[in-house]
């Protein structure tokens, strides 16, 4: 697993990976937010997150699945990840522990989150755009424990 700033060529490979997926539609039983995060972290950084095949219905159900999952014990929250992190979000105005959306944060150009949701599909949003233009609050960032 790598969580350091990669060499320039690797950053180009990450950019190509992201570009290939931009605009792909969101799907509850296909490419939902966790599925995209799981695939991205595995493909780019070799860390295997739990696989969730279908996005659960209901905000509380999603939050309980994320917050209560045993995998959370393997992660720690950070303010500034070295290069990448799992970004977990709650809706603006909802309790901050109601984490129900996931993406992958990259420390590029001030920080950006690669995520998918309905209706926009796969996007790369700058960190400041998420609470401003999406329905999500600023993400909480998690990296694997050492």
SS (H, E, C) 35-62: HHHHHHHHHHHCCCCCCCCCCCCCHHHH
Distance CA 13, CA 102 (A): 22
Q: Is the pLDDT of residue 136 over 70?
A: yes
Residue with tokens 């490979």: 13
- pTM for the model stands at 0.87
Overall domain count for the chain: 1
Do 127 and 139 form a contact (C-beta atoms < 8 A)? yes
What average pLDDT does the chain have? Answer: 85
* pLDDT-derived band at 137, boundaries 50, 70, 90: very high
Residue 3 domain flag: no
Residue 97 lies in a domain: yes
Is 91 domain-assigned? yes
Residues with Cβ < 8 Å from 25, sequence gap 6 or more? 31, 121
Tokens coding 142: 């998690």
pLDDT (tens digit, 9 = 90+) per residue, 76-131?
A: 899 988 899 999 998 898 888 888 889 999 998 889 999 999 889 999 999 999 99
With 60 as the cut, is the pLDDT of residue 54 above it? no
List the domain range (segments joined by +) for residue 62: 8-144
Answer yes or no: is 48 within a domain.
yes
Three-state SS across 14-34?
HHHHHHHHCCCCCCCCCCCHH
pLDDT tens digit sequence for 61-77: 666 666 666 677 778 89
Tell me, what CATH number does 117's domain have? 3.90.1720.10
């Amino acid at each position: 697993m790598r969580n350091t700033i990669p060499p320039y060529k690797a950053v180009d490979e990450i950019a190509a990976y992201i570009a290939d997926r931009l605009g792909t539609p969101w799907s509850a039983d296909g490419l939902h937010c966790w599925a995209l995060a799981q695939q991205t972290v595995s493909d780019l950084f070799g860390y295997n997150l739990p696989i969730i095949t279908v996005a659960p219905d209901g905000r509380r159900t999603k939050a309980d699945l994320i917050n209560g999952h045993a995998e959370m014990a393997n992660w720690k929250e950070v303010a500034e990840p070295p290069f990448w992190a799992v970004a977990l979000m709650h809706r603006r105005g909802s309790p901050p522990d109601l984490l129900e959306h996931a993406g992958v944060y990259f420390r590029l150009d001030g920080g950006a989150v690669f995520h998918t949701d309905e209706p926009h599909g796969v996007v790369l949003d700058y960190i400041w755009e998420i609470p401003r233009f999406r329905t999500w609050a600023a993400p909480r960032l998690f990296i694997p424990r050492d």
